[in-house]
Amino acid sequence: MTDQWHPETAGIRAGSGHTEFGENSEAIFLTSSFVFENAAQAAARFSGKEPGNIYSRFTNPTVTAFQEKLAALEGTEFCVATSSGMAAILATVMGLCSAGDHIVASRSIFGTSVQLFSSILARWGLQTTFVSLTDPEAWRAAVQPNTKLFFVETPSNPLTEVCDIQVLADIAHKHGALLAVDNCFCTPALQKPLTLGADIIIHSATKYIDGQGRCLGGAVLGSKALLEPVYGFLRTAGPTLSAFNAWVFLKGLETLFVRMEAHTRNALELAQWLENQPGVARVYYPGLASHPQHALAMKQQKSGGAIVSFDVKGGQEAAWRLIDATRMISITANLGDAKSTITHPATTTHSRVTPEARAAAGISDGLIRIAVGLEHIEDLKRDLAMLARP
């Protein structure tokens, strides 16, 4: 029945099972393990011959409800929920790649993702080549005989660059590789990567899926056959989403579509305002006609999203001065909150990336990223009033 619902309805109704108590809001199953009727049932559950819950590291009804709801929204067959967005990326790679495999990744990704690929995974024999997100020829040139995975964020963090998902999917598939898309910035409310050719969708549920800055969590979505090794890694290694956090995310998904509409409306107006401020050198927002991939973004996405980045005149000193002058916007590197947040990527989210890599990714010392929240737009402009000064 869920395939007949509009996405807004699925966000509220999909995955909403009920117990014998008839609760309207999904129950939280805060238990480490589950009791079996007898030894034969325990054996059947552990062998997989009988479906059912065993141990909350890999089976929990609340987590299952979250997985089913998010899968319905993304239009995928299967979802593996994890303890964080980074755990989702790790589980994907550990489940689908082996020592000696090669990964091609966009250089325009979250700084911690860069560290995961270039430092941690490299120690285990996984080689990663970083290329321009927006240059398909660079992806073609980077492919090796052992390339197993393409990994992108689109829009990217923090410059909101946009890649052509279908083009990269075609390149990956031609060479027997998979395309994984981090859909954190858009969520299924704004973009459906699998309909554009991607094989895997990755989320940091910590962001817009929660929407209130409360809990950590992540998810990997795709076909059941493809993600069985990812689930197997979760079952064994245990980067597990807690039942409580899953319940919080279930509540977040109920309001995702109305929140994203409000976020993006605010973001577009703020981006347009920033373009006209004397203290701003350049604004990066896919919803603006000035964005290099504006036409592509409007083709792939429902709207421009809620992340606005901009270069201020005066470099790091001016950027820090503006950040310190805000009185309402939260100075934090998190995003996806109802509260607007502001950060200086070069010294926070991408501080562990080498200066050379930051420069290659276009992250200047004067760059500021704002995750536009749900406050009144005039109050946001007022908090950034310093930019209006010549």
Residues forming beta bridges with residue 283, ordered by sequence position: 310
Coil, strand or helix at 359 = helix
* 320-368 pLDDT tens trace: 999 999 999 999 999 999 999 999 999 998 888 888 888 888 899 999 9
In this structure, what token pair is assigned to residue 375?
């406050």
Compute the average pLDDT of residues 82-111: 97
Distance from first CA to last CA of the chain, Å, rounded? Answer: 58
The predicted structure's pLDDT at residue 306: 98
**Does residue 206 sit in helix, strand or coil?**
coil
- Count of residues for the chain? 390
Q: Residue 175's pLDDT is what?
A: 98
Task: Please report which helix (H) or strand (E) contains residue 221, including its range.
Answer: strand 218-222
Which segments of the chain belong to CATH 3.40.640.10? Answer: 2-254
- Find tokens 């911690």 and name the residue: 112
User: What Å distances lie between residue 197 and 169, 170, 192, 300, 322, CA to CA?
Assistant: 5, 8, 9, 11, 41
- Tell me if 149 sits within 8 A of 180, measured CB to CB: yes
pLDDT of the residue at 121: 97
Tokens 């994890």 locate to 82
pLDDT in tens, 282-320: 999 999 999 999 999 999 999 999 999 999 999 999 999
> Predicted confidence band at 1 (pLDDT cuts at 50, 70, 90)?
low
Q: For residue 173, what are the CA distances in angstroms to 7, 148, 169, 197, 368?
A: 29, 10, 6, 9, 36
CA distance 298 to 352: 32
Rounded (10°) CA dihedral 212, 258, 196, 246:
40
Tokens linked to 367: 């760059």
Residue 18 — very low, low, confident or very high, per pLDDT cuts 50/70/90?
A: low
CA pair distance 35, 239, nearest whole angstrom: 23
| 126-165: pLDDT as tens digits | 999 999 999 999 999 999 999 999 999 999 999 999 999 9
Q: What is the mean pLDDT of residues 55-62?
A: 96
User: Encoding tokens for residue 141?
Assistant: 């040139």
Confidence of residue 115 (pLDDT cuts 50, 70, 90): very high
Cis peptide before 158 (omega within 30 of 0): yes
What pLDDT sits at residue 122? 96
Is domain 257-388 given the CATH code 3.10.450.50 in the classification? no
Q: What is the pLDDT of residue 22?
A: 77
- CA-CA distance, 175 to 165, in Å (whole number)? 16
Quick one: how far is CA 166 from the chain centroid? 19
Task: Centre a 10 Å sphere on the Cβ of residue 119 and count the other Cβ atoms it contains.
Answer: 11
Query: Is residue 12 very low, low, confident or very high in pLDDT (cuts 50, 70, 90)?
Result: confident
* Tokens matching residue 312: 């201020």
pLDDT score of 342 = 98
More confident residue, 27 or 266: 266
Buried/exposed 226-241: b ≥16 CB within 10 Å, e otherwise? bbeebbebbeeeebbb
Average pLDDT of the residues of the chain: 95
Query: What is the rounded distance in angstroms from the CA atom of residue 33 to the CA atom of residue 45?
Result: 13
Helix (H) or strand (E) run with residue 280 in it: strand 280-284
Tokens of 366: 């004067």
Rounded-to-integer distance, Cα 208 and Cα 186, Å: 8
Mean pLDDT of all residues in 95-102: 98
The pLDDT of residue 341 is: 98
CB 63 within 8 A of CB 19: no
Q: What is the pLDDT of residues 102-112, one digit of tens each?
A: 999 999 999 89
Class of CATH domain 2-254? alpha beta
| Proportion of the chain above pLDDT 90, given as a percent | 87
| Among 91, 117, 119, 115, CA closest to 104 | 117
- Structure-derived torsion over alpha carbons of residues 262, 264, 269, 270, reported in degrees to the nearest 10: 110
Which tokens is 374 given?
Answer: 């749900």
Ranges of CATH 3.90.1150.10 domains, the chain = 257-388
> Which runs of consecutive H residues, i.e. helices, occur in 80-135?
85-96, 111-115
Average confidence (pLDDT) over 228-233: 98
Which has the minimum average pLDDT: 21-25, 38-42, 111-115?
21-25
